[in-house]
Amino acid sequence: MSCLVREAGEEAGLGIDPRDVEFVHALHQLPGPGRRPRLQLVFRARAWTGVPEVREPDKCLGWRWFDPAALPERVVPYTREAIAHVRAGRPYAEGGWE
C-alpha cells in the first residue's frame, strides 16, 4: 500500500491515506509472444486530498474523469480491461495464456 500512496503523490500530486484504499482487481496477463507476464493490481481510493496534476508529462497526457461505461478511445488496453472486470465485480482475471 505504501507504494500506491507514494506513487499517487509523485505522479499525480494526490495525498491518499492507506485506510481509504481497497483492493478491487488483479489482472494476470501474458501480453504477447516473447513478452513477460504481467500482474496488474487495481485499487480504489475512496478519498484523497489535492487536485490531480500531470507530474510526469512524458508518461501521461492528462488526468480527467470519465464515465467507466464511455471511456475515450485512447486508454491503455489493460486499463480498459481491468475497469470492465471491476465493473462486473470480478476480483481476478487472466488473459493471453491460451
Q: How far apart are CA 94 and CA 81, in angstroms?
A: 10
| Neighbour-count burial of 82, counting CB atoms closer than 10 A to its CB (0-12 exposed, 13-18 middle, 19+ buried) | buried
> What's this model's pTM, rounded to 2 decimal places?
0.84
Q: Are 14 and 8 in contact (CB under 8 A)?
A: yes
Helix (H, G, I), strand (E, B) or coil at 87: helix
Indicate if the pLDDT at residue 26 is higher than 90.
Answer: yes
Give the mean pLDDT of the chain.
93
pLDDT in tens, 32-48: 788 889 999 999 999 99
Query: Quick one: CA dihedral 86, 41, 92, 61, positive or negative?
Result: positive
Question: Lowest-confidence range among 28-32, 41-45, 94-98?
Answer: 94-98
CA nearest to 37, candidates 46, 48, 47, 26: 26
Q: Which residues pair with 26 in a beta bridge?
A: 41, 92
Indicate if the pLDDT at residue 59 is higher than 70.
Answer: yes
